[in-house]
């Protein structure tokens, strides 16, 4: 078999059913092998979008997404997507073409040092120098991408390796002596954690993307119910506990709710599960959860103590560790439960008071469409069941605040990297993975303009994605910071000359429409959802709305700005 056919055979054995990619000179043998192969190749319109689409696919399914690019510019175009996958621990395998082995280092046409360039933006990367190594490397790549803390793995494939012929023999085992996955957690630490959990007066569960990655939603639910503990979920963790669960407060951090941030600031035990104490959550670190002992469960040992030294670290897979913690908690329950009632009553009444004091409520107006109103209408239509893929900016934060997710893997965003341009291609990947699901791509007018070419991919496959553009005429999140922290000196944030979306969609053979009056909102969204195919809906919203609450950078998360500054009465 040729190297290209061996590659496809390995992909089949890994259960790959589709690849998002863009061809070029050195990957021609691969595309020739794909010509009559059952693995689907989805031609995106830019390699970065192949990486984002593979992540939309991976995040909705839990399986490893695959993207493919040619050498040189194709490979360098993948870089943002790779960093994005690394930051959000998303399992993808990126296949890149490379010039022939003997030309490497000669500045050959479309040569780039992909191995060197992607070293720091992948979990691991390989350069395949001989066809004999290809099967082993490829299966290792899938193993490394999907195990432990998942992430992107790149396999660079020289053209002559793809052309060469060899007898294919399947790989029977993977031995990576230097790669250890700790999954069970330390028995003694698990016992101590259970004890601390029962002893706490004001426990708070702080759960993130790691819980979703390990499939630990049920265990998380059992934990909060057993301990009668409140929980906050990070941007990456939304859906790990159903949004309608009574123990769920909301997202914490820079745009988290008052109650979530106050709970963090006042808890006496922080149960951190699959989270990395991101600066957007902690605010000023010295003031973060200042009264709390910290239990930190993470599969990646390098996360432990990276930002906050835990009192009790547990290195392991969230699902397995929580399963074991729950067992010990149940053993200890008869002795510990009686002490719980009064402590929890006080803690919960405090939390409910914070919720009543400053609830998260969407703004609504009779004369203009408030972006929060639009988002809450999407929430109503989704009813906690739709897949919502957000781009980056204000609309993303409002979506995280107001859209409910009653299952994991419904909310997809670019969390760690915050990469504009992510939303549309990631929605494409999600819709390919889940053709049965209603998929919203929620995008700002800035991010949309980074991804317009993917309307062509949507049209080609009649993908029924509902593209909703939250059009405020600005790079909204940057405008908000310029307004609040730079005396409203708006510089380079106005987005003039936005295209007429009905015409733009029609140019791609799609249906599209622009609305701007509140009375049009509900019918337009309902029409878009009823439409069996794709729909592009541009919603002109109030241009100068800001996301609140907001923790200014450098402030403690208890120092939230809860709303726009109130006009000060000038003494006469
Ligand atoms: C690739 C990239 N470039 C720049 C930024 C910085 N940035 C963060 S939010 C934002 C504005 C986004 O504007 P828009 O897409 O219109 O969404 P909005 O904030 O208005 O909802 C910018 C420029 C980024 N996150 N990603």
Q: What distance in Å separates the CA atoms of residue 64 and residue 79, rounded to the nearest whole number? A: 18
Any atom of ligand 1 within 6 Å of the Cβ of 150: no
Whose C-alpha lies nearest to ligand 1, atom 11? 475
pLDDT band at 119 (very low <50, low <70, confident <90, very high): very high
Express each pLDDT in 470-483 by its tens digit.
999 999 999 999 99
What gap in Å lies between CA 288 and CA 24, rounded to an integer?
50
The secondary structure of 464-489 as a DSSP string is: --EEEEEE-SB-HHHHHHHHHHSTT-
Asked whether 422 lines ligand 1 (CB < 6 A), one says: no
Query: Which DSSP symbol is given to 410?
Result: S
> Per-residue pLDDT tens for 141-178?
999 999 999 999 999 999 999 999 999 999 999 999 99
Q: Which of 391, 415, 420 to mutate to test the pocket of ligand 1 (most atoms within 8 A of CB)?
A: 420
Report the candidate in 178, 180, 173, 95 with the shortest Cα–Cα distance to residue 139: 173
| Catalytically annotated residue among 55, 115, 140, 159 | 159
Q: Determine the average pLDDT of the residues in 357-367.
A: 94
Which residue, by CA, sits nearest to atom 5 of ligand 1? 420
Mutate to test the pocket of ligand 1, among 393, 476, 550 (most ligand atoms within 8 A of CB): 393
Q: Whole-angstrom Cα distance, residue 527 to residue 536? A: 11
Q: What is the pLDDT of residues 236-259, one digit of tens each?
A: 999 999 999 999 999 999 999 999
Atom 1 of ligand 1, nearest CA residue: 420
Q: How far is the CA of 385 from the centre of ligand 1 (A)?
A: 27
| Residue showing tokens 């760690």 | 416
Contacts of 150 (CB under 8 A, 6+ apart): 64, 89, 90, 91, 123, 213
Q: Ligand 1 atom 9: the closest Cα is on which residue?
A: 393
Task: Please give the Cα distance from 159 to 3 (Å, whole number).
Answer: 9
Cα of 476 from ligand 1 centre, angstroms: 7
Mean pLDDT across 537-558: 96
Instruction: Read off the pLDDT band of 567 (50, 70, 90).
Output: low
Return all residues near 116 (Cβ < 8 A) that are at least 6 apart: none
User: Which whole-number Å values give the CA distances from 542 to 103, 104, 363, 378, 509, in the listed order?
Assistant: 56, 54, 11, 17, 29
Q: Which residue has the tokens 């390995």?
A: 10
Ligand 1 centre to CA of 167 (Å) is: 50
Residue 151 CA, ligand 1 centroid: distance in Å: 24
Give the pLDDT mean for 110-129.
Answer: 98
Closest approach atom of ligand 1 to CA 417: 25
Active-site residue 159, yes or no? yes
Is residue 395 in contact with ligand 1, taking CB distance under 6 Å?
A: yes
Give the CA count within 13 Å in the CB-facing half-sphere of 361. Answer: 8
Q: In which residue are the tokens 């309608």 written?
A: 244
Give the DSSP H or E segment for 158. strand 152-158
Ligand 1 centroid distance, CA of 288 (Å): 27
Over residues 390-401, the mean pLDDT reads 98
- Model confidence over 62-99: pLDDT tens digits? 999 999 999 999 999 999 999 999 999 999 999 999 99
Report CA(421)–ligand 1 centroid distance (Å): 9
Share of the chain above pLDDT 70, in %: 99
**Residue of 1, 110, 199, 368 marked catalytic:** 110
Residue 570: the pLDDT is 67
448 CA closest ligand 1 atom index: 15
| pLDDT for 571 | 67
d(CA 385, CA 218): 17
pLDDT at 462: 98
3-state secondary structure of 154: strand
Classify the C-alpha dihedral 529-530-535-539 as positive or negative. negative
Q: Which helix (H) or strand (E) holds 356?
A: helix 340-357
CA 525 to chain CA centroid, Å, is: 24
Cis link prior to 471 (omega < 30° from 0)? no
Closest CA to 61 of 320, 512, 436: 436
Distance between CA 183 and CA 251 in Å, rounded?
Answer: 27
Q: How far is the CA of 408 from the centre of ligand 1 (A)?
A: 26
For residues 468 and 415, is the Cβ–Cβ distance under 8 A? no
| Mean pLDDT within 16-24 | 98
Which of the residues 9, 14, 20, 47 is marked catalytic?
Answer: 47
**Residues near 376 by Cβ (< 8 Å), separated by ≥ 6?**
362, 402
Which ligand 1 atom lies nearest to the CA of residue 480? 19
With 90 as the cut, is the pLDDT of residue 203 above it? Answer: yes
Q: Closest Cα to residue 401, out of 263, 251, 264? A: 251
Alpha helices by DSSP H, listed for 147-186, are 159-163
Reported as a single tens digit per residue, the pLDDT across 309-350 is: 999 999 999 999 999 999 999 999 999 998 888 889 999 999
pTM (2 d.p.) = 0.97
For residue 108 and ligand 1, the question of a CB distance below 6 A is answered with no
Helix pair 318-336, 217-227: axis angle to 10 deg: 20
Q: Which of 255, 477, 479 to mutate to test the pocket of ligand 1 (most atoms within 8 A of CB)?
A: 477
Report the pLDDT averaged over residues 220-244.
98
């Amino acid at each position: 078999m040729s190297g290209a056919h061996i590659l496809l055979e390995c992909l089949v054995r890994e259960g790959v059913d589709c690849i998002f990619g863009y061809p070029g000179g050195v990957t021609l043998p691969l595309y020739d092998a794909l010509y009559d192969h059952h693995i689907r190749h989805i031609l995106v319109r830019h390699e970065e979008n192949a990486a984002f689409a593979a992540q939309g696919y991976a995040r909705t399914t839990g399986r490893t997404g695959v993207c493919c690019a040619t050498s040189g510019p194709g490979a360098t175009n993948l870089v943002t997507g790779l960093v994005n996958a690394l930051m959000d621990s998303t399992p993808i395998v990126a296949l890149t073409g490379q010039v022939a082995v003997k030309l490497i280092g000669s500045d050959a046409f479309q040569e780039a040092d992909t191995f060197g360039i992607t070293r720091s933006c992948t979990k691991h990367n390989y350069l395949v120098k001989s066809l004999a190594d290809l099967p082993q490397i490829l299966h290792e790549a899938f193993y490394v991408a999907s195990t432990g803390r998942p992430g992107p793995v790149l396999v660079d494939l020289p053209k002559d390796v793809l052309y060469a012929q060899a007898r294919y023999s399947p790989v029977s085992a993977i031995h990576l002596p230097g790669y250890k996955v700790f999954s069970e957690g330390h028995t003694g630490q698990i016992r101590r954690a259970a004890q601390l959990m029962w002893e706490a007066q004001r426990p708070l569960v702080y759960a993130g993307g790691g819980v979703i990655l390990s499939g630990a939603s049920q265990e998380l639910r059992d934990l909060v119910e057993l301990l009668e503990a409140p929980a906050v979920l990070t941007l990456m963790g939304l859906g790990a506990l159903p949004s309608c669960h009574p123990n769920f407060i909301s997202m914490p951090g820079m745009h988290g709710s008052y109650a979530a941030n106050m709970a963090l600031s006042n808890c006496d035990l922080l149960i951190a599960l699959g989270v990395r104490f991101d600066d957007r959550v902690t605010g000023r670190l010295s003031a973060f959860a200042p009264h709390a002992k910290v239990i930190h469960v993470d599969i990646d040992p390098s996360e432990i103590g990276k930002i906050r030294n835990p009192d009790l670290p547990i290195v392991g897979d969230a699902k397995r560790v929580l399963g074991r913690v729950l067992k010990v908690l149940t053993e200890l329950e008869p002795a510990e439960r009686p002490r719980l009632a009064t402590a929890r009553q006080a803690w919960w009444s405090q939390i409910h008071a914070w919720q009543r004091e400053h609830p998260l409520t969407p703004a609504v107006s009779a004369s203009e469409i408030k972006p929060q109103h639009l988002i809450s209408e999407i929430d109503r239509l989704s009813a906690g069941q739709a897949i919502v893929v957000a781009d980056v900016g204000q609309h993303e934060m409002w979506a995280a605040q107001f859209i409910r997710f009653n299952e994991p893997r419904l909310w997809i965003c670019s969390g760690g990297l915050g990469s504009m341009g992510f939303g549309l291609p990631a929605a494409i990947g999600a819709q390919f993975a889940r053709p049965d699901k209603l998929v919203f791509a929620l995008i700002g007018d800035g991010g949309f303009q980074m991804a317009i070419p993917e309307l062509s991919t949507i049209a080609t496959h009649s993908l029924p994605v509902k593209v909703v553009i939250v059009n405020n005429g600005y790079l909204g999140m940057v405008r908000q910071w310029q307004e609040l922290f730079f005396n409203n000196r708006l510089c380079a944030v106005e987005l003039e000359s936005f295209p007429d979306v009905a015409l733009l969609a029609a140019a791609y053979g799609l249906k599209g429409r622009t609305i701007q009056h509140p009375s049009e909102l509900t019918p337009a969204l309902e029409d878009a959802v009823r439409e069996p195919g794709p729909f592009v809906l541009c919603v002109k919203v109030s241009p100068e709305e800001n996301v609140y609450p907001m923790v200014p950078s450098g402030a403690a998360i208890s120092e939230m700005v809860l709303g726009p500054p109130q006009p000060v009465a000038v003494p006469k």
